[in-house]
């Protein structure tokens, strides 16, 4: 199902909590950006697309077990996998990229030293530099792709210099050769700077492939894609890995909004977990992810993330779908439900019961779950402790929850807000 993009539907479920610190972000343009929103390959799909298992008793190939809400599971898997990459592999990947650029700079220095010392240049020196550029591009690509795409940038910066050097080398124009080599070195040294790395391969704010996956599926038209990408503001915290970041397109230089604090600090996480009641299940859980979708503030904004009133999503990952199913059963055993419904605001069957598996092109149907707030404690939800209403669903090895608030489902329209641009509405 290719869903359409909706505008801002209304105010999301917000949080009120104090944060600390300050973050200013500068913009940067990347000519080598990855093609966005490409269909996932087999590597991204994970266990949901494994080959059918062979029956050892009769040698027949049996049909694979259906995956609960397969499309939602695949989209969630891509988001969580990329967040885990940022949390665990990103530092080593950036270090490998910088080592590749550093070795290229060493080769440039060596060629320059030889040319200057011998007062002579050769085409072989140019070949040596050309090979060094290609090796660096390959190594950088191996380290960072498909999360970032440095290969085209490296080759694009090196090849024009190589062409000029091939022109002057046969003439033995040493001074002109050295001048061009120095320019080449200066360009690549800039690609090894802390500022360049932090902007070109930004982990905060996230605006690489992970942002596209958070906003999946992006519209097909370029203008519509830019509209969604350029106006969304996402907070995410992978608490199981100690990673948190904002996700949005960078602002122009000198025009950034001032966002204080960090995404989902401890007090906001505790408040959301309390709202969720029996949904958080730590037994066998391998990942825990908090995400909130809001509109990107304009340049004049100066404040805390919770003031953007983002709509939160809570994701738990388990070793397999069977474990996730067990955890959902435990949740449903502790809290009553009233049927299932899609959370897509465009869906026409909202609120109706659904007994199918939620696979194929049909939107996932979420359990409409409610529970009493803990007695004797005040969480600052509403004026009084009371019932919390929300949505919970299993998708493959994941348990997802959204839309928990003190107002009943039928009494709040447009609660999704910018969540309508998120991957969970699919």
Residue 47 structure tokens? 């266990």
| pLDDT at 237 (0 to 100) | 98
* Number of CB atoms found within 10 A of residue 119's CB: 9
pLDDT of residue 374: 54
> d(Cα 64, Cα 405) in Å, to the nearest integer?
38
State residue 254's pLDDT score. 79
pLDDT digits (tens, 9 = 90+) for 138-159: 999 999 999 999 999 999 999 9
The pLDDT, as a whole number, for residue 318 is: 98
This prediction has a pTM of 0.81
Tens digits of residue pLDDT in 338-381: 999 999 998 744 444 444 444 445 789 999 999 987 543 444 54
Percent of the chain, pLDDT > 70?
Answer: 78
Which residue has better confidence, 382 or 184? 184
pLDDT value at 11 more than 50 = no
Rg value, the chain, Cα = 26
Where do the DSSP E strands lie in 296-397? Answer: 302-303, 311-317, 337-341, 366-372, 387-395
Average pLDDT for 165-170 = 97
Q: What is the mean pLDDT of residues 318-344?
A: 97
Q: Is the peptide bond before 50 cis (omega within 30 degrees of 0)?
A: no
Q: Could you tell me which residue, 23 or 415, shows the higher pLDDT?
A: 415
CA distance 135 to 156: 14
Over 70: is that where the pLDDT of 270 sits?
yes
Q: Does the pLDDT value for residue 257 go beyond 70? A: yes
The confidence score (pLDDT) of residue 66 equals 72
Task: State the residue for tokens 């107002």.
Answer: 407
Distance between CA atoms of 233 and 398, rounded to whole angstroms? 24
Rounded to a whole number of angstroms, the distance between the first and last alpha carbons of the chain is: 8
- What pLDDT digit, counting tens, does each position of 189-231 carry? 999 999 999 999 999 999 999 999 999 999 999 999 999 999 9
């Amino acid at each position: 199902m290719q869903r359409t993009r909706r505008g801002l539907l209304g105010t999301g479920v917000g949080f009120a909590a104090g944060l600390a610190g300050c973050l200013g972000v500068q913009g940067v343009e990347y000519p080598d950006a990855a093609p966005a929103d490409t269909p996932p390959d087999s590597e991204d799909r994970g266990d949901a697309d494994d080959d059918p298992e062979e029956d050892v008793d009769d040698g027949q190939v049996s049909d694979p077990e259906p995956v609960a809400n397969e499309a939602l599971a695949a989209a969630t898997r891509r988001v969580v996998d990329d967040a885990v990459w940022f949390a665990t592999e990103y530092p080593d990947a950036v270090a490998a990229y910088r080592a590749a650029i550093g070795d290229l700079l060493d080769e440039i220095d060596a060629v320059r030293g030889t040319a200057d010392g011998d007062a002579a240049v050769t085409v072989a020196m140019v070949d040596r530099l050309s090979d060094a550029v290609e090796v660096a591009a390959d190594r950088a690509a191996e380290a960072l792709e498909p999360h970032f795409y440095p290969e085209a940038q490296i080759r694009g910066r090196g090849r024009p210099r190589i062409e000029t050097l091939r022109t002057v080398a046969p003439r033995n124009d040493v001074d002109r050769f050295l001048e061009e080599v120095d320019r080449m070195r200066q360009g690549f040294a800039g690609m090894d700077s802390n500022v360049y790395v932090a902007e070109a391969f930004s982990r905060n704010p996230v605006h690489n492939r992970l942002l596209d996956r958070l906003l999946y599926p992006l519209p097909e038209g370029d203008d519509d894609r830019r509209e969604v990408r350029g106006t969304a503001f996402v907070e995410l915290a992978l608490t199981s890995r100690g990673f948190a970041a904002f996700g949005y397109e960078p602002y122009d230089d000198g025009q950034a909004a001032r966002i204080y604090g960090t995404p989902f600090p401890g007090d906001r996480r505790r408040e959301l977990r309390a709202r969720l009641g029996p949904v958080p299940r730590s037994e066998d859980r391998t990942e825990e992810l908090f995400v909130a979708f809001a509109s990107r503030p304009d340049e004049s904004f100066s404040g805390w993330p919770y003031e953007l009133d983002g709509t939160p999503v809570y994701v738990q990952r388990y070793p397999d779908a069977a474990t996730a199913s067990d955890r959902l059963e435990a949740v449903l055993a502790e809290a009553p439900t009233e049927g299932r419904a899609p959370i897509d605001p465009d869906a026409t069957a909202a609120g109706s019961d659904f007994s199918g598996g939620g696979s194929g092109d049909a939107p996932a149907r979420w359990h409409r779950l409610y529970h009493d707030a803990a007695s004797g404690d005040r969480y600052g939800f509403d004026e009084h402790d009371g019932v919390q209403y929300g949505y919970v669903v299993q998708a493959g090895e994941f348990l997802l929850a959204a839309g928990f608030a003190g107002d009943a489902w039928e009494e709040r329209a447009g609660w999704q807000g910018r969540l309508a641009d998120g991957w969970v509405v699919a």
